[in-house]
Amino acid sequence: GENVEQHPSTLSVQEGDSAVIKCTYSDSASNYFPWYKQELGKRPQLIIDIRSNVGEKKDQRIAVTLNKTAKHFSLHITETQPEDSAVYFCAASKTGTASKLTFGTGTRLQVTL
């Protein structure tokens, strides 16, 4: 089955700096890659997703890039703010089983003042 690895497990950045979280996947048939943000005690929230027919997608301060050849995708957050502090999860799935998301182990992002 699919295996998703996520790095780093913790990341501390200063407010205003950029943060990058990387994930690799094993199943070359995977074609849907969402990112979720989970604040302490709250539900995971979808912040951005990308499908394998595009290489990059951007939404304000958040961007995701996908390298199908290398089977890795990354989340980029620019101009970080304290409210960006949370655990971020990457996930992968494939058409027909998109509900069966395989999640990475999460990255705890801490944005310090």
Handedness of CA 49, 55, 26, 31 (dihedral sign): positive
Residue 26 interacting with another protein (CB under 8 A) = no
Q: What is the rounded radius of gyration, in angstroms, for the C-alpha atoms of the chain?
A: 13
Asked whether 92 and 72 are in contact (CB, 8 A), the reply is no
Between 51 and 61, name the residue whose CB sits nearer to another protein.
51
Using CB under 8 A as the binding rule, whether residue 9 contacts another protein is answered as: no
Exactly one of 23, 84, 85, 106 binds another protein (CB under 8 A); that residue is: 106
Question: Which residues are at the interface with another protein (CB under 8 A)?
Answer: 1, 32, 34, 36, 42-46, 49, 51, 89, 91, 95-106
